[in-house]
Structure 1
Amino acid sequence: MGRKIIVIGGVAAGTKAAAKAKREDPNSEVIIFTKEEYISYSGCGLPYFIGKVVQSKDHLILRTPQEFKHSLGIDVYTKHEVIDVDKQNKKVIVKDLSTNNIKEYFYDKLIIATGASPVKPNIEGINLKRVFTLRSVGDALKIREILDNDPPKNPVIVGGGFIGLELAENLKERGFDVKIIEVADQILPGYDFEIAKLVEKYLIEEKGVKVFTSKKIVKILGNEEQEVSKVLLDSGEEIETDLLIWSAGIRPNVELAKKIGIEIGSTGAIRVDKYMRTNIEDIYSAGDCCETTNLVCNKPAWVPLGSTANKMGRVAGNNVVYDNEENFESFEGVLGTNILKLFSLTIAKTGLSERQAREEGFEVESVIVPSDDKAHYYPTSKMVILKLIADKKTGRILGAQGIGEGTVDKFIDIIASFIYLNGTVWGLSKVDLAYSPPYSMALSSVIVTANVMKNKLTGKLKGINPYELYKRIKEGDKNLLLVDVRTEPEFVISSIPGSINIPLDELVEKVDMIDKNKEIVLICGLGKRAYQAYTKLRSFGFTNLKILDGGLKAYPFELI
């Protein structure tokens, strides 16, 4: 008989670890304990079950307890909570939540994969009826039952992160008039402000989703039936709602780990080494309850994503069956790569945002470049906007963000690979990528973006970020001169307040209209014509020149 391995937690990391351990050592005895009723499910798919994109909850479940037993020989105990661990005698104390009976089980190796839980604020009304969080299959079943049988008139989602936005999409697609309330000044925390504002603008103007940022709920009000009826904001506003889904963050489940003396890292999650070992011998951890390393800045990071959890679980499952490190697998860390589908948009990110990179002490350069994802003449060609962040001194790529209806996922994955391998802008600009008109431009969007970054790093081009320009306009900066080089009809349709129109083909003859003593920002639709104007004006002796990064396509602020 092989060693006894106990896994606490039965979702992504826990089931992956258990399955890997059993495959590595078929003679081992592997047991999973979980408080939940359902195991091995895709939490990331829950919004799509609520939206009926996924019709049955069974489609979200990879394996049932019976299938684990039949196909892998793994025993799964659902509705069983591990309430303590006797690490000296190597046994877990388990409570059967159906009967309240308590039993002890011995282990040789223990894996803690207790996941994370939704953050619920301590405010009045949080426990009213029709107030939900979304983390488990049980949560999703309750929400969908209300949508199907007693549909709300005014659903409100609290939180503008991935789950909140995916919920908004799915509720809207089902015909509900949905509102999002976010306490921060932007949705999509972790993304740069101007990218998040592009998404917000899209939701409001194109999809009719009402978005409230910089708003905090201080009280939840109910009716006579103790059902939610309104939320009170810190501004004094009241918003009516008859379904409130609280999706404003999660926290790692580390209570058991703390209780038994496992070290908690600076992120608030369990500290592990690259082999997924905790500070206690023969106890490992994986998934949303533990931290890892950000590979860009080499600092602890808590990145609760399903992809990360599965990789951690696989490493932990492998290592618990071996005694020598030479047989171990390792998990060095993450870039925080993530992606979101939002109606027809794809939004994705890898590595550090520009804000994060500056906070980490990097000397940062960034570019924003709109381009086609395929040959412009191909019928399915779509626009994408890529933002690239690099270190000024070395050209090392630090991060990227993308948004658009085109193949954003492909471009972000390419850049993620370069970041993982410590790649530079110079290498990215020369990478040999597949080309055919149905799949790409002759120069891929990532190569075009890298070339723009090279121009900035070598001093051929200076730009200004959309958010920086917006702030300076709002502050009434008198030193700015905004010159829009599009055609007059384009300018009349929409323009940035305070800009003047000098079309590119009239620039030479009207060059005397431009004050050389001003800081001149050149503006066009995508940035190409502005760059042409930039080179022309430099030939006339202008030195204080910038172009608007990304042009008006990437400018999410007020136009007239």
Structure 2
Amino acid sequence: MRYLIIGAVAAGTKAASKIRREDGAAEITVLTSDSDISYAGCGLPYYIGDVIKERGELVVRNPEDFKMEQDIDVLTGWEALKISPDKKSVLARDLNTGTEKEFPYDKLILATGASPFIPPIDGVNIGNVFTLRRVVDADRIKQLVNSGVKNAVIVGGGFIGLEVGENLAKRGVNVTIIEMMETILPGFDKEIAMAMQNYLKEKGMNILTGEAVQAFKGDGTVKEVVTSKRTLPCDMAVLSIGVRPNTRLAVEAGIELGPTKAIAVDENMETNIKDIYAVGDCAENVNLITGQKVWYPMGSTANKTGRIAGINLADGKWSFKGVLGTTIVKLFDMTAAKTGLNETGAKKNGYDVLTVLVPSEDRAHYIPGYRMITTKLIVDKNSRRVLGGQIIGEGVVDKPIDILATAITFGARADDLVNLDLAYAPPVSTAMASTIVAGEVAVNKLDGKLRGISPTELHENLGRYYVVDVRSEPEYIISSIPGSVNIPFGQLKRQAVNLPRDKEIVLVCKIGKRAYMAYRILSQMGFENIMILDGGISSYPFETA
């Protein structure tokens, strides 16, 4: 059996290796136009930042390794030009010699990946304006940084752009991030994204949101970036505006694209043409919650789909049910992660949404080195099903986001989170884990025991509410929500007579505990129009007094 794979990064090489394990007699050939294969694309920002010192640490394996260890032929510098499904062959060109050759196959895998989106901006092709997708891109950027760059502009506030910005900042470069949307971290809800945004500003990074790049200017190399609001000095720029699936070969061969404009595949990763499969960043997926087609170009998904296709090409019976879009990013000492639907996405899909925002320690508070994390849950009010989660903080974030991803995958309700039997020891966790506490708050809201308001909703409608801060006076003086009044918790019962009953009252404390106790007291005193600020003032990312 002859297997041909186009593409040799994560998905392509994973598929090739799995085919070999399943079929020891197979003839396996991998074609790639790149000179590097099987490299750690997600590690490129850290190579630029000198966290990864040696280039060879990024390139996991080379063609000689594949040939010697697995008898797989990996041909670098070969560009696939045309797929002929009727003849079951691929025409490719040797980029070094110009020679063209037909490669026959019995089964074909497209692992063509994705390419950076380059917008039609004036001067975008000027020198020292980069994209970052391949190892050679990182080589060029690192070489320039080593020469003494002073000012760098990153266009785009997604993961790669922010990671590049962090690593340049650590190397002493003045970094400006320009994001056209209202906040950085697309896909995260506003409270979480703004918390990271504020943190990065504290770290010295210049974050400009709601601003578009209009031109790059310079004589041969970039010297200025012109935006819709200002002109910035710039010695180098990195475009990180997202990627697009590489589908030209597929389209020209009659392979169908899905609604996401990536290659449409079934759960076995097979396209509409028999014996042609697509994996990794060029193929679309299914959202496990909505059942809708989605496109999440992630290294984790690329490896999984490559493996599954490899099994199925060798007559296996594995299927890929879909993804949640689980992602995580660490910038300096702050980590943000998400899984499932965000609040906006859940509402767009017709769910009656309830959210909670719950700060918690990542381990016992009496253990030196504990840090705070904040968990946001998105829950469907009708079914009580957990639809999504987001977590941010300087503490451990990957463990609780993976707990939520697992729970959501298996259709957990908020009530199920409360009953999870999670590991506890003071140095590594809390007796009531952050996931459990967030689940308890969600259940209280679902059962009508508590009404809350999100920081975003409060900020956007601040004049509508009577905000009562129940922290101590010294805490209130340090930072408070504009227009709020301070009634320390211990004085609340005595001063409740002065509270208006014709306005909605929002109770505020540091993280929500005292506000909840105040909520119970006022409820027992007959107050009905009361809420607490979800997450307290520690989770309020907007301007304070």
- TM-score higher than 0.5 here? yes
Question: 1:165-314 to 2 correspondence within 5 Å?
Answer: 165-205=162-202, 207-223=203-219, 226-235=220-229, 237-314=230-307
428, 434, 449: which one aligns with 2:438: 449
Q: Show structure 1 runs of 5+ residues with no match.
A: none
Q: Residue deviations 1:450-480, cap 9 Å, x none?
A: 000000000000000101111112xxx3x41
Alpha-carbon distance between aligned partners in 1 of 2:434 and 2:228, rounded to the nearest angstrom: 43
Secondary structure of 1:509's match? helix
Q: Residue deviations 1:127-175, cap 9 Å, x none?
A: 1110000000010000001111x22111111110000111111111111
Q: Residue deviations 1:263-310, cap 9 Å, x none?
A: 000001000000000000110000000101000111001010000000
Question: 1:67-82 to 2 correspondence within 5 Å?
Answer: 67-82=65-80
469, 481, 485: which one aligns with 1:496: 481
* Paired letter, 2:223: S
Aligned to 2:3: 5
* Paired letter, 1:173: K
Secondary structure of 2:310's match? helix
Alpha-carbon distance between aligned partners in 2 of 1:156 and 1:233, rounded to the nearest angstrom: 11
Structure 2 length normalisation: TM-score? 0.99
Secondary structure of 2:398's match? helix
Secondary structure of 2:211's match? coil
* Paired letter, 1:532: M
Q: Percent identity?
A: 50
Alpha-carbon distance between aligned partners in 1 of 2:504 and 2:77, rounded to the nearest angstrom: 66
Displacement of 1:234 in angstroms is: 2.0
Q: Residue deviations 1:100-122, cap 9 Å, x none?
A: 11000110000000000000011
Alpha-carbon distance between aligned partners in 2 of 1:554 and 1:433, rounded to the nearest angstrom: 25
Question: 1:379-458 to 2 correspondence within 5 Å?
Answer: 379-458=368-447
Q: Residue deviations 1:27-78, cap 9 Å, x none?
A: 0000000011100001000000000100111111111010000001000111
Aligned to 1:141: 139
Alpha-carbon distance between aligned partners in 2 of 1:381 and 1:198, rounded to the nearest angstrom: 19
Alpha-carbon distance between aligned partners in 2 of 1:194 and 1:406, rounded to the nearest angstrom: 18
Secondary structure of 1:27's match? coil
Displacement of 1:558 in angstroms is: 0.5
Alpha-carbon distance between aligned partners in 2 of 1:467 and 1:160, rounded to the nearest angstrom: 20
Q: 2:154 aligned with 1:161, yes or no?
A: no
Alpha-carbon distance between aligned partners in 1 of 2:159 and 2:269, rounded to the nearest angstrom: 27
Question: 1:55-70 to 2 correspondence within 5 Å?
Answer: 55-70=53-68
Question: 1:327-346 to 2 correspondence within 5 Å?
Answer: 327-346=316-335
Q: Residue deviations 1:187-230, cap 9 Å, x none?
A: 0000001110000000112x01000001111111112xx10011
Alpha-carbon distance between aligned partners in 2 of 1:376 and 1:219, rounded to the nearest angstrom: 50
Q: Residue deviations 1:323-350, cap 9 Å, x none?
A: xxxx321111001001001100111000
Structure 1 length normalisation: TM-score? 0.97
Secondary structure of 1:508's match? helix
Alpha-carbon distance between aligned partners in 2 of 1:153 and 1:171, rounded to the nearest angstrom: 10
Question: 1:513-552 to 2 correspondence within 5 Å?
Answer: 513-552=498-537
Aligned to 2:106: 108
Q: Residue deviations 1:419-466, cap 9 Å, x none?
A: 000011111101101111111111111001100000000000000010
Secondary structure of 1:412's match? helix
Aligned to 1:36: 34
Aligned to 1:471: 460
Alpha-carbon distance between aligned partners in 1 of 2:154 and 2:278, rounded to the nearest angstrom: 32
* Paired letter, 2:227: L
Q: Residue deviations 1:484-519, cap 9 Å, x none?
A: 000001111110100000000000111112101111
Q: Residue deviations 1:353-406, cap 9 Å, x none?
A: 011100111111000000101111111211000001111011101000000011
Alpha-carbon distance between aligned partners in 2 of 1:40 and 1:294, rounded to the nearest angstrom: 27
Alpha-carbon distance between aligned partners in 2 of 1:552 and 1:165, rounded to the nearest angstrom: 26
Aligned to 1:462: 451
Alpha-carbon distance between aligned partners in 1 of 2:347 and 2:234, rounded to the nearest angstrom: 40
Alpha-carbon distance between aligned partners in 2 of 1:79 and 1:460, rounded to the nearest angstrom: 64
* Paired letter, 2:150: K
Displacement of 1:177 in angstroms is: 1.3
Aligned to 1:94: 92
* Paired letter, 2:71: G
Alpha-carbon distance between aligned partners in 2 of 1:155 and 1:330, rounded to the nearest angstrom: 44
Q: Runs of at least 4 residues of structure 1 off by over 4 A?
A: none
Alpha-carbon distance between aligned partners in 2 of 1:72 and 1:60, rounded to the nearest angstrom: 21
Q: 2:365 aligned with 1:349, yes or no?
A: no
Alpha-carbon distance between aligned partners in 1 of 2:84 and 2:465, rounded to the nearest angstrom: 68
Alpha-carbon distance between aligned partners in 1 of 2:364 and 2:103, rounded to the nearest angstrom: 62
Alpha-carbon distance between aligned partners in 2 of 1:433 and 1:494, rounded to the nearest angstrom: 35
Aligned to 1:117: 115
Alpha-carbon distance between aligned partners in 2 of 1:434 and 1:249, rounded to the nearest angstrom: 38
Aligned to 1:364: 353
* Paired letter, 1:69: K
Aligned to 1:505: 490
Secondary structure of 2:330's match? strand
Alpha-carbon distance between aligned partners in 1 of 2:190 and 2:225, rounded to the nearest angstrom: 26
Alpha-carbon distance between aligned partners in 2 of 1:261 and 1:494, rounded to the nearest angstrom: 61
* Paired letter, 2:542: F
Displacement of 1:410 in angstroms is: 0.4
Alpha-carbon distance between aligned partners in 1 of 2:206 and 2:380, rounded to the nearest angstrom: 37
